[in-house]
Chain A
Amino acid sequence: MSGETAVSGETAVSGEAAPRAGLVLAGVGYRYAGASAAALVSIDLRLEPGRVIGLAGANESGKSTLCLVVAGLAPGVIGGRLDGSVRVDGIETTAMRPHELAQRCGLLFQNAATQLSNTKATVFEEVAFGPCNLGLPVAEVVSRVWWALRMAGIEALAPRDPARLSGGQAQLVALASVLALRPGYLVLDEPTSELDPAGTRLVADALARIARETGAGILIVEHKTDVLARIADEVVVLERGAVALSGPAATVLADPRLVALGVEPPAAVRLERAVRVSGIEWPAALAEAIE
């Protein structure tokens, strides 16, 4: 068993040098097993290496489902019916085995408690769990764990008990545990939801850095549009499982239809609107003040 895992680990390493064709969804529909209605309807999306796409939309508009589909867990693990195609660097996700897919496309769940193994005594071991399962040499595991902890800004938590962390700390540990797999694409379902403003900025900056420096393509679900304004190249807004808006981040985030789609615009956009609605002239100094 361990021999088999080691071999696939090597395959993945050589795979990293393969051309990166991007993560491409074409006409994707998805229906949960037993559900009467489709959760996703004809979604087209292209995530290039090194780019960040923000995914927004009202609750239950299909954002988390899209994450599961992109990462291959739906239908791969939870069943259901997939239409259209999801390709990661040219390979259909349905044709990949879970450990292959996990190295190409890492998924961070919305609820950190779902992500953590609950079997490890320290944060270090928790983050090492994934790379260990890939059968990597110990030295490689250790260096990946420290790299991932540093990227998430939580080196100081390494000796702590994962069960005794605050909600936000647990979220950062979950992020580090995905980073340690060094996936080519990262799918993040609200990675900052439980984080304080400083932690949110830390994660946002870390994600921008990861995209830039490692060439990872990042798909991030985020209600905090201020985070998307900061790091996303493009933003896609879902409504009832379909794409309602998509385009460059600045354009979509300033779109007046955003509010009706259940998405709070960034603070600067809101403030500008509040001032304009009051009928007074937009003070030039205010534009500078909110830069």
Chain B
Amino acid sequence: MTALGSTAAGSTPAGSTHAGSTAAAPSIELDTVSFAYPDGTRALSNVALRIEPGESVAIVGQNGSGKSTLVRHLNGLLRPTTGRVLLDGRDVRSTHVARLAGLVGLAFQNPDRQLFAGRVSAEVAFGPRNLGVRGPALEERVRAALEEVGLAAEASTNPYDLGYSRRKLLALASVLAMRTPVLVLDEPTTGQDARGVGLVRDVVSRAAGDGRTVIAISHDMRFVAESFRRVVVMREGRVVLEGPPEAVFGEAAWPELRAAYLEPPLPAVAGARLGLGATPTEAALVAALVAGN
């Protein structure tokens, strides 16, 4: 694995950067985790990764590179074949599933694997109720979560009367309502229009601003470059590259990136061609152009 740049794991002491943190996010450590599915498909090979509390991390890589398998280890949905997953140094194997559910919220790639209630509001209330939240506090959580994803007007709707993109936002709201200190989003922007992508961006920046750890899988390199401070690149079940967007999308990393079947975002390519240095986002490119003018 190539670790790039200075903001990689280890540089942020636990909890120190976010004084306003409402929940204490645990550190997450994958200690040489390997995983094979029952049919023999080897999905993860010796993954070593440490995520500090409050980090925002994007996981990118080709389809089938092990991204979803990896994040399912974080809340105990999958258990490593070998190796360990540690939350605050404790093996998740010895952590009760209910406690894990209160720590790590996971929104699936496919919302239909997650939704089951007859009303949008009941769907969103299910998670926090299981965590023991009741009464006005529960109502407030449901209201706030629906507000955050732009579904406040749909509280009484049947989830399956919503289109796919809004079912996906609903699945996100149902995880947000649990207010877990760790938020894991599997492809949150797929199928969203410009407004939906904007809502997801806001969810990520708000959660990160609250000191929560946000981990998202995405193929949308623009979203990755603009919304995350750290990018982890996976290929064939391994972490092959990681660092801040400036480094991972920087010209020096392109060969490794392309070997993982990924492309740097257009502003990064344009910035490199013009000799402006690392410009992973439109804003960075424009700033570099203005500075050079």
Which residues of A approach B to under 8 Å, CB–CB?
57-60, 64, 110-111, 113, 160-161, 164-169, 172, 190, 193-200, 223, 259, 262-264, 267-268, 270-271, 274-275, 278, 280-281, 283, 285-286, 288-290
Contact = CB atoms under 8 A, between A and B. Distances in A.
Contacts of B273: 285, 288-289
A195 to B, nearest CB: 6
Nearest to B162: A60
Contact of B110 (A111, A172, A199): A111
Given A194-B63, A197-B262, A283 B194 contact: no
B165 A285 contact: no
Given A60-B163, A197-B219, A271-B270, A110 B191 contact: yes
Interface stretch (B89-97, B127-135, B202-210, B284-292): B284-292
The 3 closest A-B pairs by CB, nearest first: A168-B63, A198-B261, A289-B273
Considering residues B63, B64, B282, B283, which has the most beta carbons from chain A within 10 angstroms of its beta carbon?
Answer: B63
Given A164-B41, A190-B191, A60 B293 contact: no
Interface of B: 37, 39, 41, 60-64, 68, 109-110, 112, 163-166, 187, 190-197, 219, 221-222, 261-263, 265-267, 269-270, 273-274, 282-283, 285-286, 289-290, 293
Nearest to A112: B110
Nearest to B266: A267
Contacts of A270: 282
A274 B206 CA distance: 24
Given A59-B196, A196-B63, A198-B62, 20 more contacts: A59-B191, A59-B192, A59-B195, A64-B163, A111-B110, A111-B164, A164-B37, A164-B39, A166-B63, A190-B191, A259-B194, A268-B266, A271-B267, A278-B286, A278-B289, A278-B290, A280-B293, A286-B289, A289-B270, A290-B270
A8 to B, nearest CB: 32
A197 B63 contact: no
Contacts of A271: 266-267, 270, 282, 285
Residue picked from A58, A167, A264, A268, most chain B C-beta under 10 Å: A167
B193 A196 contact: no
6 contacts: A113-B112, A197-B262, A274-B282, A274-B286, A285-B273, A289-B270
Contacts of A172: 63
A113 B114 CA distance: 13
Q: Which of A194, A259, A281, A289 has the most CB of B within 10 A?
A: A289
**Most chain B beta-carbon neighbours within 10 Å: one of A259, A281, A288, A290:** A290
B39 A161 contact: yes
B261 A110 contact: no
A59 B165 contact: yes
B289 A197 contact: no
A111 B191 CA distance: 10
B274 A285 contact: yes
A99 B134 CA distance: 52
Nearest to B111: A111
Given A58-B195, A197-B262, A64 B164 contact: yes
A107 B79 CA distance: 38
Contact of B193 (A59, A274, A275): A59
Contacts of B274: 283, 285-286, 289
Among A190, A281, A286: residue with most chain B CB under 10 A: A286
Contacts of A195: 63, 219
Contacts of A285: 273-274
Contacts of B64: 165-166, 168-169
B266 A198 contact: no
Contacts of B289: 275, 278, 280, 283, 286
Contacts of B269: 289-290
B193 A262 contact: yes
Nearest to A161: B39
A201 B268 CA distance: 19
A262 B194 contact: yes
A166 B290 contact: no
B63 A263 contact: no
A262 B192 CA distance: 10
B62 A196 contact: yes
Given A268-B266, A278-B290, A285-B274, A169 B63 contact: yes
A196 B236 CA distance: 14
Contacts of A280: 286, 289-290, 293
B270 A286 contact: yes
